[in-house]
Amino acid sequence: MLERGSPLAVAIGRWGAAQSLVIAAVLAGRLLRAVPHLLPNRLPGLILYELGPGLILAAAIGTAITTRGSGSIGVFARLALFGLAALVTGAIVLAVEFNDALQGQWI
């Protein structure tokens, strides 16, 4: 059992919050791409459709790597970890979304 306020509990809470930001950004980006008819017409909608998911993900990873008190791990290591988390989350979302089209035939 973790003691409330212990360094381990604080680290787990901070990393969990930062990880959930990245996962939520990937899912929000996929949602933005899945429902383009809800975006405004013309140029603002096109910009949101094309740049929105990447900007959301970049903002979430930037927020995640600037988390204070993340321990002795460096900024580049955190960037790599959260980039990997975004890649894994995006791959899972795409696999679930396109599973019927691929019919289990993965390259």
Q: Please give the pLDDT value at position 68.
A: 62
Residue 70 has pLDDT above 60, yes or no: no
Q: Please give the pLDDT value at position 101.
A: 73
Is there a domain that residue 2 lies in? no
Mean per-residue pLDDT of the chain: 77
Percent of the chain with pLDDT over 70: 89
**Residue 12 lies in domain:** 7-102
Is there a domain that residue 16 lies in? yes
Is there a domain that residue 72 lies in? yes
Give the chain's largest Cα–Cα span.
54
Residue 75 has pLDDT above 80, yes or no: no
Is there a domain that residue 57 lies in? yes
Mean pLDDT of 96-102: 74
Residue 76 has pLDDT above 70, yes or no: yes
Q: Please give the pLDDT value at position 96.
A: 76
Is there a domain that residue 107 lies in? no
Residue 104 has pLDDT above 60, yes or no: yes
Structural domain count of the chain: 1
Residue 14 has pLDDT above 60, yes or no: yes
